[in-house]
Structure 1
Amino acid sequence: MSKKILVVDDQKRYRDEVTIALKSLQVKIILAEDGLDGLVKFRKEKPDIVIIDAMLPKLHGFQLCKTIKSSISKDKKVVIFIITGIFPKEDYESDVIAKYGADEFITKPFSRPMLKEKVEFYLNNMDH
């Protein structure tokens, strides 16, 4: 079974950027346009990795991250990337990881090869 990646971003441009960056990986990419849509698709699709924009309508990206992390069982590993163009990495990275449970914090604009490399690392180190 191929791995699934959920991309939650209200800007089509960034959903497209992530899709292009990851297209060579053998994964199913699911797209969501806002936080609530992301939560619905997370529950339906049960992705292995979720890439979330911090600033989302309907449900903030940080809250979506926290909701997902608190809803999964301890034996299920879901990796969450927070991507943002608003919050500077040096000021927010440790908070986002500690308070909300994110695994990675990436600032926009991001490099496609860097994103692919990070995603590939997690895909290669998953237990299932």
Structure 2
Amino acid sequence: MKILIVEDDKDTLTLVHHFLQETDFKVVTCRRGDEALDMVIKEQPDLAIIDGLLPGIHGFELSKIIKEDKSLKKNPKVLIMSSVYKGLKYKSEAITKYKADDYIIKPINKSELLKKVNKLLK
């Protein structure tokens, strides 16, 4: 299984990457929303973990684009992570309006992240 992490904050990207390296998943990364579209096409990840606020393309909008793109060979599951948009309202909006499969609040807790990743990739 392959996971794409899209995160512009270097420290958060490093942390999430480190958490996932302890698993059997192959992990690829990028730091901009517009780069992520190319990475999804090239890498065909099973899961995209996307920061809610990104340069290039907003993370929430990126989720919707990825989920609705009929030209993709496969549409990955999407997990949105955010420190700005907290609460049930934003989780609900991420899932209904932006087609994300799940939502996690920063700072990222390792056990919560791995639980969500494993659930999404069952």
Give the TM bin, normalised by the shorter chain.
over 0.9
The match for 2:107 is 109
| TM-score normalized by the length of structure 2 | 0.92
User: Secondary structure of the equivalent of 1:100?
Assistant: coil
* Equivalent residue in structure 2 for 1:16, among 10, 14, 17: 14
Q: How many residues align?
A: 122
Judged with a 3 Å threshold, the aligned counterparts in structure 2 of structure 1 residues 118 and 13 are, in CA distance, closer, same or farther, namely same
RMSD: 1.7
Q: Secondary structure at the match of 2:54?
A: coil
Structure 1: runs of 5 or more not aligned: none
Match of 2:98 among 94, 97, 100: 100
Provide the C-alpha distance between the structure 2 equivalents of 1:88 and 1:114, rounded to a whole number of angstroms. Answer: 15
Q: Is the 8 A contact 2:66 2:75 kept in 1?
A: no
For residues 48-72 of structure 1, what are the alpha-carbon distances to aligned partners after superposition, in whole Å with 9 as ceiling and x for unaligned? 0000000000100011100100014
Q: Which segments of 5 or more consecutive residues in structure 2 lack a partner in the other structure?
A: none
> Residues 44 and 74 of structure 2 are in contact (CA less than 8 Å); yes or no, is this contact kept in structure 1?
no
Query: Equivalent residue of 1:93, what SS?
Result: helix
| Identity rate, percent | 36
Please give the alpha-carbon distance, in whole angstroms, between the structure 2 residues aligned to 1:7 and 1:55: 13
- Counterpart of 1:66? 64
TM-score (structure 1 length as normaliser): 0.88
